[in-house]
Amino acid sequence: MTAFLTTIAVPVALMAVAVVLVLGLWNMMKGGSSNTSQKLMRMRVLLQAIAIALVMFTLWVLGR
């Protein structure tokens, strides 16, 4: 369980946050739709919450 969390789940969650952040920045730089920027911002916040929860859960499991 800990190997899965530390090697797969947490890195995937962090990469998802990074990808959505880069997509949002790219959209702003090219002058894209503000509606798309808003959707990407909401998705990033949701993914960050998931990533933080996963990191905290992993730390809890490792501390047991």
Q: What is the pLDDT of residue 56?
A: 96
Whole-angstrom distance, CA of residue 51 vs CA of residue 46: 9
Q: What is the per-residue pLDDT across 8-56, written as a single tens digit (0 to 9) for each?
A: 999 999 999 999 999 999 999 999 999 999 999 999 999 999 999 999 9
Mapped onto helix, strand or coil, the DSSP state of residue 26 is helix
Find how far residue 46's CA is from the centre of its chain.
Answer: 7
* Predicted local confidence at residue 2, as pLDDT: 83
- Amino acid symbol at 3: A
Output the pTM of the full model: 0.88
